[in-house]
Amino acid sequence: MTPIMEKRAIVFLAIAVSSAFGQSDGKLVEAPRFWNDHDLSDWATPVAGLNVRPGHYSEKQYYAAPVGELVRTYAVYFPGREPVGYLDMLRNAKPEPLITPGARTIADWIKDGKRVFHEMDIPYLRSYDAKLAEILRSADDFKKVGGHPQKDGTVSALRWVPTAKGLALGIQDCATCHSRVLPNGSILDGAPLNDPGDGVFRTFVGHDSASFLEFFSPGETRDMVAWRFWAVPWVPNDINEILKSPPPGFDPRDLGALFSTVGIVPRFNSSPFYPTKIPDLIGVKDRKYIDHTATHLLRGPEDLMRYAALVSCCDTASRTSYYSRWRSTFSRSSRPRIRTSAIPEPRPA
Ligand code: HEC
């Protein structure tokens, strides 16, 4: 990792919600070292049916992982709807840190949190495939795979990402699932997804790109990785076993588009057979627990920061730790590949 990348500090979007928790009196606030063993120890609640509290990557493991290349990203417009000069601007754009490190006022944290919510993409799902990018230059070709503009001409879920390796096409992280198109065409942040996206987007979330497989389980097939994503090995006759060698014609991806129109997704830890409802993030500050089955406590903004990191890089460990008996089901790696939070963060007092 280069020194420039080292400086690419990302402090989490959950801070966006911190307006609700914090006071805005102009004081400069440092990001906490939120991934710490003390607060992680009793953060997760015991898993139903097992009565075992999942663990997490330790503070040491998390901070030893390299920071992901989290950079500023730009909207993708439906062909012909982009502002004048947009494509030239993108071609010349250099990678820039998504946000910079350092203390700032609560108002500035909120501003930067919003940026992270909208701009952060998923680094291991970037594509440099010129053919895929080409589809986005022809309205006819893009329409054929379900491409459609929002009212402002942008396309949901896709982002242009200037990276150290050149201009990539990426997918938006939080805002893809946690924003909703209203009947008047405006977009409401925080409410659950209702736009199924398009064929270009689905190519990324298809879980068979080389970088996705490399991130989750190097050397394995897509089917095996899908099974690890959703398996519940302590349930007798786990229905997800079928994913290891699915019958011809069965593709869990087909279900994804259908589900997303009604705000549910087969996210990791759920299943294509039991997809999870995307909760409304509006009002999350008043909840005491996170997720429908209260998988984690919500004690304040730091728990939201932990949750954002958990779902972006570091969930595997919570699954590997159920019991050593099932450790090998979920992952063959015992350390995070990247982390998503800032360096340097102050050590706890
Ligand atoms: C693939 C879709 C998807 C993406 C991307 C996604 N989420 Fe979620 N999010 C979900 C689902 C589904 C749940 C509910 C999980 C459950 O109940 O087990 C959830 C739950 C949450 C919750 C708990 C809310 C509550 O009231 O319980 C928070 C907070 C949250 N997400 C924040 C984020 C943040 C921050 C990001 C970006 C870093 C993000 N999500 C990215 C689908 C997504």
| Cα of 140 from ligand 1 centre, angstroms | 34
Q: Which atom of ligand 1 is nearest to the CA of 277?
A: 12
Written as one letter, the residue type at 46 is P
> What gap in Å lies between CA 145 and CA 151, rounded to an integer?
19
pLDDT along the chain (349 residues), means of 10: 32 40 73 92 90 88 89 97 95 93 92 94 90 95 97 96 95 94 96 91 76 79 85 90 87 72 85 91 95 94 93 80 68 75 53
| Cα of 100 from ligand 1 centre, angstroms | 24
| pTM (whole model) above 0.95 | no
- Nearest C-alpha neighbor of 113 from the set 210, 33, 180, 189: 189
Find residue 171's DSSP bridge partners. Answer: 158
> What gap in Å lies between CA 265 and CA 281, rounded to an integer?
15
Instruction: Please report, for residues 35, 104, 107, the alpha-carbon distance to residue 112 in angstroms, rounded to integers and kept in the order given.
Output: 20, 10, 9
Determine the pLDDT at residue 229. 84
Nearest CA to ligand 1 atom 41: 174
> What gap in Å lies between CA 31 and CA 16, rounded to an integer?
12
Nearest CA to ligand 1 atom 6: 174
| Cα of 278 from ligand 1 centre, angstroms | 6
- Nearest C-alpha neighbor of 313 from the set 129, 127, 95, 70: 70
> How many Å is the Cα radius of gyration of the chain?
20
> What gap in Å lies between CA 227 and CA 243, rounded to an integer?
5
The answer for 21, left when phi > 0, alpha when psi is -120 to 50, beta otherwise, is: alpha
Nearest CA to ligand 1 atom 9: 278
| Cα of 10 from ligand 1 centre, angstroms | 19
Nearest CA to ligand 1 atom 16: 291
> What gap in Å lies between CA 319 and CA 326, rounded to an integer?
9
Ligand 1, pocket-test mutation among 11, 21, 267, most atoms within 8 A of CB: 267
Determine the pLDDT at residue 16. 39
> What gap in Å lies between CA 138 and CA 191, rounded to an integer?
31
| Cα of 112 from ligand 1 centre, angstroms | 19
> What gap in Å lies between CA 75 and CA 82, rounded to an integer?
9
| Cα of 128 from ligand 1 centre, angstroms | 27
Contact 18, 113 (CB under 8 A): yes
Ligand 1, pocket-test mutation among 125, 262, 281, 298, most atoms within 8 A of CB: 281
- DSSP, residue by residue, 47-59: PTTT--------H
- Among the residues of 158-231, which ranges form H helices? 174-177, 199-204, 210-216, 222-230
| First CA to last CA distance, the chain | 29
Determine the pLDDT at residue 336. 83
Q: Which atom of ligand 1 is nearest to the CA of 311?
A: 38
- The encoded tokens of residue 90 equal 């993108």
Determine the pLDDT at residue 348. 47
Pocket of ligand 1 from Cβ distances under 6 Å: 13-14, 173-174, 176-178, 265, 267, 276, 278-279, 281, 284, 287, 290-293, 295, 304, 307-308, 311-312
- The encoded tokens of residue 230 equal 């959703």
